[in-house]
Chains A and B, each alone.
Chain A
Amino acid sequence: MNSKDVVTIAGFAKEVGQDIHSRHRVGFDEGRASAYEAGRVAGRESAIHALAAARFGVEAADHVVEATMSMLHEPEPNVGIGNAGRIAICVLTCTTAEELLARVREVEEEEAKRDRALRAFFRR
């Protein structure tokens, strides 16, 4: 082993050290983004549950959250109202839990119809 080898290894180690640090940073950012999004979905769920429980009781609230789970997991728009906001307003405006669930189904159908129209447009 000559001194040239040692210098090369030291240089390599320094470079690799910086690389590993940058992977730590990437992991930190990705972990943060992922946990934040998971927390956000859980927060929407708990708020919808709290509103529905206050209005229609805990049992109905469990049912509402279960029925709207897939909608609450969809990404929210950056501007304007998203699914969670619309469901929350439904909780406010509907007079019974049944009416609320029927309205949620309507909204889901509207979304599916809009989605199909959008896909058909881009397929043309």
Chain B
Amino acid sequence: MIGARKAGLVSFPGAWLEGYEGGLRSTGVPHERRMQLVAESVARLTAEAYFAGYVRGGESAYDDGMTEGQSEVIHWVVWVKFGPMAAHRVAKLFEWIREPEWTARLAARVFTCGTATEFLARVKDLTEGERP
């Protein structure tokens, strides 16, 4: 309920302020006091809007960053051991696979496979065999 109220304040702060000021006026609050209260509300709403945006912006970004960080590291190892083609294939897979356990399984295959062909075949098994 409070969240919905806050969301409303952030979505329509102008309308809310107008209503707030109108309410104060109708109850006879003097002009200067009204302006002071409106100014305080503006400061509070500005801080709340920034915070709400900050939280909302961070919601999905952490997982995106996590995938990017894992992809960067695995990419270099695969590049050095199996060459650019294999590294490119693995980087493409990271674009749609978002499970942390998958990175661990992939890392194990980097050491157990001897050639790029074998590695790519095992990665294919990993993605097709263990995923729908």
Contacts and interface: CB of A to CB of B under 8 A. Distances in A.
Interface of A: 1, 5, 9-10, 12-21, 23-48, 50-51, 53-55, 76, 81-82, 84-85, 88-89, 91-93
Contacts of A26: 50, 53
Contacts of A39: 61-69
Nearest to B65: A39
Contacts of B53: 23-31
B70 interface: yes
B66 A43 contact: yes
A84 to B, nearest CB: 5
B49 A36 contact: no
B107 interface: yes
Given A46-B103, A47-B107, A85-B73, A30 B57 contact: yes
A85 B72 contact: yes
B77 A31 contact: no
A12 to B, nearest CB: 8
B123 interface: no
Contacts of A27: 49-54, 56-57
Would you call the interface of chain B mostly helix, strand, loop, or mixed? helix
Q: Which 9 A-B pairs have the closest CB atoms?
A: A43-B69, A17-B14, A39-B65, A27-B53, A31-B57, A35-B58, A31-B54, A32-B57, A47-B73
Contact of A17 (B13, B68, B104): B13
Given A9-B21, A54-B111, A32 B61 contact: yes
14 contacts: A17-B13, A20-B46, A24-B49, A28-B54, A31-B53, A35-B57, A42-B69, A44-B72, A46-B103, A51-B74, A51-B77, A88-B73, A88-B77, A92-B81
B80 A50 contact: no
Nearest to B105: A50
Nearest to A48: B73
A64 B80 CA distance: 20
Contacts of B111: 54-55
A51 B81 CA distance: 13
Contacts of B10: 20, 24
Contacts of B67: 39, 43
Given A13-B14, A13-B15, A13-B18, 9 more contacts: A20-B13, A24-B53, A26-B53, A28-B53, A29-B53, A33-B57, A35-B57, A35-B59, A85-B75
